[in-house]
Amino acid sequence: MRVSIELNGRAYERDVEPRTLLSDFIRHDAGLTGTHVGCEHGVCGACTVELDGEPVRSCLMLAVQADGHAVVTVEGLAPDGGPLSALQRAFTEHHALQCGFCTAGFLISARCLLREHPQLTEAEVREGLAGNLCRCTGYQPIIEAVLAVRDGRIG
């Protein structure tokens, strides 16, 4: 099947097998490897991307389902080597990443969360990011980074 997906503002048109996952399309067909695939069951959140502004698990979605839609991956947060987004800077400043495997999913999820609820509480951040798993940070630095963005405390 022929699909046309806008990835980070750029159109990608490819022939794909109907069973091709969106995560595979992003990584293999488009060559954007920032989106990681962890559990392949939608549990870990590492593969989270934005589809028309909403967070989705790209390992649970077929590329054909994204045909005609706009997708933002972690590469779209600082396009073309531009300056890092406030969230990316906050993650760095608050040591909210260690191995980095989960980071792309957290960044996309947090971006959507902050856009939807700009004055969210710490409890709402925790609840909103509960679908993303991290094995390294203990979550507190991630929460602090999101709250720093909420409060405009980014260097």
For residue 133, the one-letter residue type is L
For residue 30, the one-letter residue type is A
Q: pLDDT by residue for the chain (155 residues), tens digit each?
A: 999 999 999 999 999 999 999 999 999 999 999 999 999 999 999 999 999 999 999 999 999 999 999 999 999 999 787 899 999 999 999 999 989 999 999 999 999 999 999 999 999 999 999 999 998 888 999 999 999 999 999 86
> Which domains are seen in the chain, by residue range?
2-73 (3.10.20.30), 82-151 (1.10.150.120)
Q: Strand ranges (DSSP E) for 10-108?
A: 10-15, 48-51, 54-57, 70-72
Compute CA distances 86 → 29, 64, 93, 144, whole Å: 29, 32, 10, 13
Collapsing DSSP states into helix, strand and coil, what is residue 80? helix
Compute CA distances 117 → 141, 144, 147, whole Å: 20, 16, 12
Count how many residues are written for the chain. 155
